[in-house]
Structure 1
Amino acid sequence: MQMDVVTIGETMVMFTPQTTGLLRYAKNFTLSYAGAETNVAIGLSRLGHRVGWISQVGQDELGESLISFVRGEGIDVSQVKKHPTAPTGLYIKEYLNQKEVRIYYYRHQSAASMMDRRNIDTDYISRAKFLHITGITPALSGSCREMIFEAIDAAKVHGVKVVFDPNYRAKLWDAETAKPVLLEIAARSDIILPGIDEARLLLGKSDPEEIANDLFHLGAQLVVVKLGPEGAYYQSKKEVGFVAGFPVDEVVDPVGAGDAFAAGFLSGLLEGLSLESAVQRGNAAGALVVMVRGDYEGLPQRETLMRFMKASGQDVLR
């Protein structure tokens, strides 16, 4: 089966308390799922694109639940393996109040962290137009790091565009360890989608134009610098521009906004839109997500996205 995008990475089962306050007093929880790569995959699938996900879960009930959920979102899970002894990772949120959220990860020696080169099927990647990766996966373990470079090599051999979101996570690795690895991945990527904080970490710069220029010198063909609610700056070898963000009435949960942007942006590229229009679609998807509590719950269907863009007062670009 031909696919538009293949993505690789860990997704965890997430438990969220139904009450606000210290986690120790919570009695009832909602089960959900959390993973940057599956957020992107779900976002693309809801917009009508064919997506595959490479990962590994435990041979346990939580792993079965996770696979069933992702499959239910229309994503191909044929490349998701089950580890016989390592468990599916867990992720717990603590809503102390409306403005403060703490996150607890239980992923040490999880099934996803045990992924290695054997998880990569070169033929599977060759059937995609884009390979989407983030900086989270190589932070999980040395074997995951090797796996990511194996996937990049497979994409390069078969002319599949590599899309890289640095997605730095300080809880997974320190900046000194992360920087050379993320820069090496960036140097082998075609499209890079950094946020300002990540660019400051990698390049020591916060000016979008300077960030894009430095990443071009590394070898990128297209750079989009995410500027949060302000919008995004984009630069290719032929085009440079800025697209303003979409105003929102209230930010309910900012988690997943960058993933939603990636999904909307890649959707635009897949449909042959101009770079400016693709970035605008990414901005709109990100705005919709922050208005809904949860990582993927606010990822829009196509009709919802188009309606929101038209109602925003901005001209919908083509």
Structure 2
Amino acid sequence: MLRTLRAEGVGVGCAATDATAPTGLILFEPRLPDVTRVHYYRAGSAGSRPGTAAIERAFATAPPRVLHLTGITPALGPAARATARRALQLARGHGTQVCLDVNFRARLWTADEAGALLRGWLPSVDLLVASDDELPLCLSGPPGGAGEGAARLLDLGVREVVVKHGAAGATAFTGAGSCHRPATPVRAVDPVGAGDAFVAGYLSALLDGADLAGRLARAATTGAFAVASPGDWEGAPTRAELGLLGTPPGTVVR
């Protein structure tokens, strides 16, 4: 895993390993062209019980510009929950922007459990990403639609709310207004990983200084790459490849 990350240009200097726990496993079982079963085997894995030392070392070495958290990590167990909470505290102390992708998984915890924890994190969140059906988890009471729900989150101090609408695209809300981006049309090969790819594109553009429309455009592009490619992350584009989806079918790129 570390070798693969290095090959993709990801810094792993602060990575931690746990020799006393197994590596988590995920299996994908394609059943129909549009249906894939996902099986997780991560109970008791190293990833379910991370310590805070690596997080603290990372912030002490070079505080990141953005901390990205998902709702999956705190659902994995008490250790993962404590480590995510510590990362959130360190981000606030270092002026690091915090992105939270709700990423709710009903197999890991209940909606009530997820909502109670995530709502407690909101005062420290700068950018929140959620699908239409995940947005209510972040609010007490019904959200009343994406626009109303986003407005309530902005009132709570979240600076930017991005709501994913699946095949209908996504909408970003800020105090200055909103911006909608349709999904980039592609031939669907494998939908697994599209949400993570979307957020990766959005944060990449954010770090590059793109405006709201530019961030959504790149997110839609990276999400489309994920849908159009087999595997969870293997089809992720480089910056130089972001324009490939606009090339005519059958084009040979040299």
My pick for the range that moved more, 157-166 or 301-310, is: 301-310
Task: Sort the Cα spacing of 1:125 and 1:222 in 2 relative to 1 into closer, same or farther, 3 A.
Answer: farther
Give the Cα separation in 2 of the matches to 1:255 and 1:205. 27
Q: 2:94 aligns with which of 158, 165, 173?
A: 158
Q: Given that residues 65 and 97 in structure 2 are in contact (C-alpha distance below 8 angstroms), is that contact kept between their aligned partners in structure 1?
A: yes
Give the corresponding residue for 2:215.
Answer: 278
Q: Take 1:164 and 1:173, find their aligned partners in 2: how far apart are those partners?
A: 17
- Cα distance change, pair 98–206 in 1 and its aligned pair in 2 (3 A): farther
Contact 2:130 2:163 in 1 (8 A): yes
Q: Using the aligned pairs only, state the percent identity.
A: 37
Q: What SS does the aligned partner of 1:81 have?
A: coil
User: What is the match of residue 71 of structure 2?
Assistant: 135
Q: Partners of 2:60 and 2:7 in 1: how far apart?
A: 20
Among residues 132, 146, 153, which one is paired with 1:215 in the alignment?
153
- 5 Å-filtered alignment, 1:50-69, equals 66-69=1-4
Unaligned runs of 5+ in 1: 1-65, 313-318
TM-score by length of 1: 0.73
1:76 pairs with 11, 35, 48, which one?
A: 11
Q: How far apart in 1 are the matches of 2:79 and 2:98?
A: 20
2:115 paired with 1:179:
yes
Q: How many residue pairs are counted as aligned between the two chains?
A: 246
Q: Contact 2:91/2:98 (CA < 8 Å) preserved in 1?
A: yes
- The one-letter code matched in structure 2 to 1:115 is P
| Superposed CA offset, 1:13-69 (max 9, x none) | xxxxxxxxxxxxxxxxxxxxxxxxxxxxxxxxxxxxxxxxxxxxxxxxxxxxx1111
Distance 1:236 1:310 in 2: 32
In the other structure, the counterpart of 1:235 is 173
Distance 2:205 2:247 in 1: 16
- Work out whether 1:255 is the aligned partner of 2:192: yes
Write the distance in 1 (CA, Å) between the matches of 2:131 and 2:154: 16
Aligned to 1:305: 242
Give the drift of 1:214: 1.9
Q: Which amino acid aligns with 1:135?
A: G
Give the secondary-structure state (helix, strand or coil) at the position aligned to 2:130. Answer: coil
Could you tell me how far apart the structure 2 residues matched to 1:257 and 1:108 are?
24
Following TM superposition, the consecutive aligned residue runs of length 4 or more in structure 1 with deviations greater than 4 angstroms are 309-312
What does residue range 16-95 of structure 1 map to in structure 2 within 5 Å?
A: 66-95=1-30
Structure 2 residue ranges without an equivalent (≥5): 250-254
- CA–CA separation in structure 1 for the residues paired with 2:41 and 2:185: 35
Question: What is the rounded CA distance, in whole Å, between the counterparts of 1:153 and 1:160 in structure 2?
Answer: 10
Q: TM-score of the superposition, structure 2-length normalised?
A: 0.90
- Select which of 129, 132, 146 maps to 1:196: 132
C-alpha RMSD over aligned residues: 1.9
Task: Give the Å deviation of 1:186.
Answer: 2.8
Tell me which of the two structures has the higher relative contact order, counting C-alpha pairs closer than 8 angstroms and 6 or more residues apart. 1
Distance 1:131 1:311 in 2: 37
Q: Contact (CA 8 Å) 1:196, 1:206: kept in 2 or not? A: no
- CA change 1:218–1:97 in 2 (3 A) is same
Task: Output the amino acid matched with 1:91.
Answer: I
Deviation, structure 1 residue 201: 3.6
